Chains A and B, each alone.
Chain A
Amino acid sequence: MTKVTTDDLKIISKYILDISGIELDESKAYLVETRLGHMVKEYQCSSYGELCRKAKIDSSKTIENRIIDAISTNETLFFRDTGPFEVLQHKILPDLIDKRTEESSGLFPTTIRIWSAACSTGQEVYSIAMVLKELLPDLKKYNIKLLGTDISDSAIGQASYGAYNKFEIERGLSKQKLQKYFNPNGGNWKISDEIRAMVTFGKRNLLKPFVGLGKIDIIFCRNVAIYFNLEGKIKLFENIASVLEPDGFLIIGSTESLTGICSIFEPKRYLRTIYYQLK
């Protein structure tokens, strides 16, 4: 494995920060080596710095995308930390549906837009879809838009395909939900067509301006900002505030905090989980 030098680490960290917002300090040299070492060899580079240079001039962006895929962490599971899904099912969705139904005066189907802002391989956004299906058996009456985005092409690819192996399935999913919402697929499990059809997937860098998104009612942005530096965190939550409906809801990771990052959100508690709304 090619060793990363101090100078190389500076070059590659700066490059990764620019393309993804992910901050790698000097303690993360091992991460660069284990996750990008094979690419240095594959692209016949003499160093990580040269890999960066090749990535920058590659107009197809193949190398850049592969670096993002390799360096981003896709740790996720179905119904991770149950709390946010309880809040969604028992507080946020009932409140919003009442409000939006009243606003539309019954003339149009009630529209709710939900965004899983870093959906990784899809477990979070499909968990949201399952909550919706449980709460609203007659989904056709509503106009629910469910969007999942991620910076990693390969994560989005897997999410969109919707197949999970036994280890991914074992994590967080009850037997009852597995039977109800998945079909066996050659040793794996594939999300049912009905749930899959509820979600639209796309690639998005959360540090770039949020163009073409429109306004969103509920945003899940969990355990993404933890990989960003303070400047990135501020930019991310400002971007989120710009697309969140004034009475919309934001859910962040259970160990994350907006204190000192973004003062336009107000934390609120429901049972043992915190969610945020614009002040």
Chain B
Amino acid sequence: MKQLKILAVDDDPFTLKMLNKKLDKEGYDIETASDGVEAGKLISQKFYDIIITDLVMPGGVDGIDVLEAAKTKNKQTEVILLTAHASVENAVDAMRKGAADYLQKPVNFYELTLRMEKIRNYKKLLKNAQDLREAMDVTEQNAAQTIQHLEMSVAELQSVVSKIRQVIMSQSVDPAKCVDRVFDIVSSC
């Protein structure tokens, strides 16, 4: 699977710097935004696999707005919210609105990378399920065409056979005419 593209959003420069450093070290392709407004601009221009955003931010665009903007742009973007202890309830509300997870501040990076791995595995499984479904649909459509064609052909042949049987079983037809009639039936199908 390709490297995940991450956007980290926080008005606290220290947290943002740490996120950038640690996740870059872990091998993620990370970009940062110092508030919701900047994040909104980036989201409208690019696709991110995961957005890690602070819940409470100044400037009129908070973490919930970032979540909504991300989900509106592309449902496949997953959002992890960072929240202070006092706003856990808000984070739970955010999960109802489609956030993948939330973490309490100060960020425990070991915990964060575990959540990220969980999201990566979830995305892999989802992709795998979509691929399997696609493969099944294509196989099923091809098989259906063949089977339905055969089903109709068999039914037509059975009807021809039963017409021929009727002619042969009929006592009143003389053998020469019988052959002619069978020939007519066969040539008409």
Contacts and interface: CB of A to CB of B under 8 A. Distances in A.
B151 A258 contact: yes
Contact of A257 (B133, B140, B141, B151): B151
Contacts of A102: none
Interface stretch (B19-27, B81-89, B142-150): B142-150
B152 A269 contact: yes
Report, as a range, how many residues of chain A touch the other chain: 10 to 19
A81 B144 contact: yes
B151 A267 contact: yes
Interface in A226-279: 254-259, 266-267, 269, 272-274
Interface residues of B, number: 14
A256 B96 contact: no
A254 B144 contact: yes
7 pairs of A and B residues whose beta carbons are closest in the complex: A254-B144, A255-B143, A274-B148, A259-B154, A255-B144, A257-B151, A267-B151
B150 A274 contact: no
29 contacts: A81-B140, A81-B144, A187-B98, A254-B140, A254-B141, A254-B143, A254-B144, A254-B147, A254-B148, A255-B140, A255-B143, A255-B144, A255-B147, A256-B147, A257-B147, A257-B150, A258-B151, A259-B150, A259-B151, A259-B154, A266-B155, A267-B151, A267-B152, A269-B148, A269-B152, A272-B148, A273-B148, A274-B148, A274-B152
A137 interface: no
Contacts of B133: 171
A42 B144 CA distance: 41
A186 interface: yes
A90 to B, nearest CB: 18
Given A254-B143, A255-B147, 20 more contacts: A81-B140, A81-B144, A171-B133, A186-B96, A187-B98, A254-B140, A254-B141, A254-B144, A255-B143, A255-B144, A257-B147, A257-B150, A258-B151, A259-B150, A259-B151, A267-B151, A267-B152, A269-B148, A269-B152, A274-B151
